């Protein structure tokens, strides 16, 4: 049912829409204003002409609602016309406002006398028991509204009016379509930096569980303290306002949104749920089917989808008023939203407050917010700037970093890498930042920039990035800038050999590893290259195991993995021949190899070291799926291309390195499972998914049996 028709204007009187526009202009100038997330509301008493126009008594107050043009699209809308919803509910809820007139960007509603519940009972405070019961009664009364009186539903709506699973799946898809997608251009890079993937809501929809069937009904879907008016009457009836987000579906969804958005104290939740159940049993008993099990699914959805509007509003608030105090508050709000959404969205590794603050600051910088501009940077004098990338180019790269689209932001285990185009520079570059509060179990021994400059100076046939700049910016946020080694078309995502190398790629990688022997490693590590690399490697593994957290150590013991002391004893029996040392990459997993121009580029040299060239090849085969024929092909080519001093006894020694790497993975992957560190990184995710195999192979390599245990961590570890 729409708004009532307006009276016909008398001859010579301007058209009704013109008089309405004049009235709206007067309301915005003289009315009492209040702001909501989506509308600006003005309350104004009608003069005689306006009263006649709207069919009300003179001096009657009305509310003029004007959609805020600057408001972000951060809500799910089922219907566009709130007036049709108000017309449909007025019989079941006679006190709700009615639409008196509407225009393209405004609506005039009857004014509801009273005060918002938020003004007499602030968020976080307990709500009086009588009010809780009254609110539950309002939610129950909505089930009396017939579907036939509501506006037509969108074509994608579930056809079965009791299918709770289909309704929740529809909500998740709508949240992606109406909230995430319209804002992804502006905020996608920020979400990527915070570790929220583009398909988070789509995957949430795919995981929608089976639920009990409940009959659909009208839902308010936004019943919080600002949208509940306590009237001045003695009976204190409660009146719902702001119906623009109303929808039609499982009534349990309305309870979930009400619980979260009302900000009840935790101890009051059972009371609210019990009141809702009691009220629903009187009106629609089937609506409480599966309440105990299914409510959590809707609560999870509410928290999951809320991370998008909460993060965007926090960022936008800083854009409007930036200060360190506001940045601290926004950081805390984003941190809260991420932690609430982590489990429902399957976010396995969350950024800390420092990382959140820096991501927000970079986003603000890219938008030119006053006070958040990059006005300078502190260069690291160990890396002089190159001729084709000077100080101005560095500043420009840092200024646009926060505006990079999500597809250009790559979050790894220890770094955030952002691809940017710099004005006046003919090639894209990567701004590479070390993630704060990330402690890597495996230390790095060489400076990445020194390794890259040495490769560049040696002019060897190794496809590696060029190190362009090194320094720090806001809050000692260290960065490096490298040339980008992905596809020439930066709009295409990098292609990594995650399923293994093709024959020509295997040949090319071997050739690059052989070329590394021509790099003069003495330039950046004069003491490296002494005999005993394998013994040093074993010692480093023993040191790593000895430094594991107590929880990881306890679980390792339960799973049959030896402690550091016993591991040192077992490994002491394994030896290899000495080979001439060379520069090694140290971490040739598939995500550090990028397909480019028919070959492979090698990125992320942070774990480079000096040692036995056989080790680099064997570690690559451990980290990357390698078919036997590709493995044999790589070994044959490697042994044929290098002089004997680099390859002697390789047939005997490569299984020794292989066993060592499996054992290393057994400890490192176990620690990641226990601590949750870096689980969102693709190489880590794949490694922990196959931990049962890793554990079995590692214990076999150590000559130990797999220990049976009832420890509850075991199921978690083996996944």
Q: What is the CATH number of the domain that holds 520?
A: 3.90.1200
Number of domains in the chain: 4
Separation of alpha carbons 100 and 110, rounded Å:
7
Distances (CA, A) of 426 to 366, 389, 421, 430, 463: 20, 10, 8, 13, 19
Backbone φ/ψ region at 669: left (φ over 0), alpha (ψ -120 to 50), beta: alpha
204 and 192 in one domain?
yes
Determine the pLDDT at residue 684: 79
Asked whether residue 11 is assigned to any structural domain, the reply reads: no
- pLDDT value at residue 714: 55
CA distance 141 to 439: 55
Q: Which pLDDT does position 8 carry in this prediction?
A: 39
Domain annotation covers residue 491: no
The alpha carbons of the chain give a radius of gyration, in whole angstroms, of 32
What DSSP character marks residue 331?
H
> Is 633 inside any structural domain?
yes
Which residues have a Cβ under 8 Å from the Cβ of 155 and sit 6 or more positions away?
none
As to burial, measured by CB atoms within 10 angstroms (0-12 exposed, 13-18 middle, 19+ buried), residue 175 is buried
pLDDT tens digits, 384-399: 998 899 999 999 999 9
State whether residue 43 is helix, strand or coil.
strand
Residue 310 and residue 162 share a domain: yes
Same-domain pairing of 70 and 138? no
Instruction: Give the burial class of 411: count Cβ atoms within 10 A of its Cβ; 0-12 exposed, 13-18 middle, 19 or more buried.
Output: buried
Picking from 536, 541, 575, the residue whose alpha carbon sits closest to that of residue 653 is 575
Residue 719 in tokens: 């996944």
Alpha-carbon distance values, 651 to 469, 638, 644 (Å): 42, 12, 13
Q: For position 672, what pLDDT does the model report?
A: 87
Residue 704: HSE in the Cβ half-sphere, 13 Å Cα cutoff:
22
State the Cα–Cα distance between residues 518 and 671, nearest whole angstrom.
37
The pLDDT score that the predictor gives to residue 28 is 85
Is 654 in the same domain as 707? Answer: yes
What pLDDT is recorded for position 49? 86
Confidence (pLDDT) at 14: 37
Structural domain contains residue 5: no
pLDDT at position 606 is 93
* 3-class SS of residue 432: strand
Q: What local confidence, expressed as pLDDT, does residue 368 receive?
A: 87
CATH number at residue 102: 3.30.200
Q: Which of 285, 313, 343 is the last residue of a domain?
A: 343
494 in a domain, yes or no? no
C-alpha distances (whole Å) from 121 to each of 117, 118, 264, 545, 571 are: 6, 5, 10, 55, 67
**DSSP element (H, E) containing 472:** strand 467-473
Neighbours of 147 (CB within 10 A): 13
Residues 425 and 310 in one domain: no
Whether residue 530 sits in one domain with residue 677: yes
Give 554-558's long-range contacts (Cβ < 8 A, gap of 24+): 555/670, 555/674, 555/711, 555/713, 555/714, 555/717, 556/667, 556/670, 558/707, 558/709, 558/711, 558/713, 558/714
- Rounded Cα distance, 634 and 629, in Å: 9
Based on the fold, state whether residues 253 and 212 are members of the same structural domain.
yes
Q: Tell me if 490 is assigned to some domain.
A: no
**pLDDT tens digits for range 13-41:** 333 568 888 888 888 888 788 877 678 88
Beta strand pairing call for 39-45 and 409-411: unpaired
Report pLDDT digits (tens) over 293-344. 999 999 999 999 999 999 999 999 999 899 999 999 999 999 999 999 999 9
Regions in the chain scoring below 50 on pLDDT: 1-15, 710, 712, 715, 717, 719
- 57 within 8 A of 51, measured Cβ to Cβ: yes
Last residue of a domain, one of 343, 368, 387: 343
Please name the residues in contact with 480: beta carbons below 8 A apart, sequence gap of 6 or more.
Answer: 431, 432, 433, 448, 449, 467, 469, 470
CA 250 to chain centre: 27
Domain region containing 698 = 503-599+608-718
């Amino acid at each position: 049912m729409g708004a009532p028709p307006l009276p016909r204007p008398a001859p010579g009187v301007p058209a009704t829409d013109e008089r309405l526009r004049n009235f709206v202009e007067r309301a915005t100038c003289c009315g009492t204003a209040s702001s909501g997330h989506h509308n600006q509301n003005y309350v104004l008493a009608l003069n005689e002409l306006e009263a006649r126009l709207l069919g009300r008594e003179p001096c009657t107050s009305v509310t003029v609602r004007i959609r805020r043009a600057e408001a972000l699209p951060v809500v799910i809308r089922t219907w566009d016309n709130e007036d049709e919803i108000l017309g449909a509910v007025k019989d079941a809820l006679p006190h709700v406002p009615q639409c008196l007139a509407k225009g393209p960007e405004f609506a005039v509603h009857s004014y509801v006398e009273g005060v918002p519940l938020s003004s007499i009972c602030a968020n976080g405070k307990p709500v009086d028991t009588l009010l809780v019961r009254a609110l539950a009664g309002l939610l129950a009364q909505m089930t009396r509204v017939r579907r036939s009186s509501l506006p037509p539903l969108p074509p994608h709506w579930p056809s079965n009016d009791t299918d709770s699973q289909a309704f929740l799946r529809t909500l998740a898809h709508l949240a992606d379509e109406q909230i995430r997608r319209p804002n992804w251009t502006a905020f996608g890079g920020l979400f990527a930096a915070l570790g929220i993937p583009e398909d988070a809501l789509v995957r949430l929809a795919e995981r929608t569980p089976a639920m009990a069937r409940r009959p659909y009904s009208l839902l308010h879907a936004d019943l919080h303290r600002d949208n509940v008016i306590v009237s001045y009457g003695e009976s204190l009836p409660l009146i719902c306002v702001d119906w623009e987000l109303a929808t039609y579906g499982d009534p349990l969804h309305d309870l979930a949104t009400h619980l979260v958005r009302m900000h009840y104290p935790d101890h009051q939740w059972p009371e609210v749920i019990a009141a809702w159940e009691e009220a629903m049993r009187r009106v629609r008993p089937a609506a409480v089917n599966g309440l105990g099990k299914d409510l959590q699914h809707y609560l999870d959805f509410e928290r999951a989808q809320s991370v998008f509007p909460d993060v965007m509003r926090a960022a936008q608030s800083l854009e409007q008023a930036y200060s360190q105090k506001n940045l601290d508050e926004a950081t805390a709000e984003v941190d809260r939203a991420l932690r609430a959404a982590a489990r429902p969205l399957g976010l396995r590794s969350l950024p800390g407050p420092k990382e959140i603050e820096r991501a927000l600051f970079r986003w603000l910088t890219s938008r030119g917010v006053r006070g958040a501009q990059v006005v300078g940077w502190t260069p690291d004098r160990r890396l002089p700037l190159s001729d084709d990338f000077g100080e101005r180019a560095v500043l420009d790269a840092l200024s646009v970093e926060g505006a990079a689209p999500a597809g250009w932001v790559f979050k790894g285990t220890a770094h955030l890498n952002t691809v940017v185009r710099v004005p006046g520079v003919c090639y894209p570059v990567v701004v590479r930042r070390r993630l704060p509060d990330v402690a890597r179990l495996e230390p790095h021994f060489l400076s990445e920039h020194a390794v890259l400059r040495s490769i560049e100076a040696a002019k060897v046939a190794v496809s590696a990035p060029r190190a362009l700049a090194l320094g720090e910016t806001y809050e000692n946020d260290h960065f490096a800038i490298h040339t980008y080694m992905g596809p020439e078309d930066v709009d295409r995502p990098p292609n990594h050999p995650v399923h293994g190398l093709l024959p020509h790629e295997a040949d090319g990688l071997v050739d690059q590893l052989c070329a590394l022997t021509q790099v003069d490693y003495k330039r950046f590590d004069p003491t490296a290259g002494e005999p005993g690399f394998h013994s040093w490697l074993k010692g480093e593994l023993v040191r790593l195991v000895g430094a594991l957290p107590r929880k990881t150590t306890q679980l390792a013991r339960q799973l049959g993995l030896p402690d550091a002391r016993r591991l040192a004893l077992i490994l002491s029996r394994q030896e290899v021949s000495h080979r001439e040392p060379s520069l090694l990459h140290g971490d040739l997993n598939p995500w550090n190899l990028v397909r480019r121009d028919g070959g492979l580029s090698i990125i992320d040299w942070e774990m480079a070291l000096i040692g036995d060239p056989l080790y680099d090849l064997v570690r690559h085969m451990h980290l990357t799926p390698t078919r036997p024929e590709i493995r044999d092909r790589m070994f044959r080519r490697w042994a044929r291309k290098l002089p004997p001093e680099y390859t002697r006894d390789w047939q005997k020694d490569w299984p020794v390195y292989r066993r060592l790497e499996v054992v290393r993975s057994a400890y490192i992957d176990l620690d990641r499972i226990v601590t949750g560190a870096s689980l969102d990184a693709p190489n880590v995710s794949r490694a922990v998914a196959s931990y049962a195999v890793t554990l079995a192979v590692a214990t076999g390599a150590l000559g130990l049996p797999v220990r049976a245990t009832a420890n509850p961590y075991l199921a978690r570890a083996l996944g």
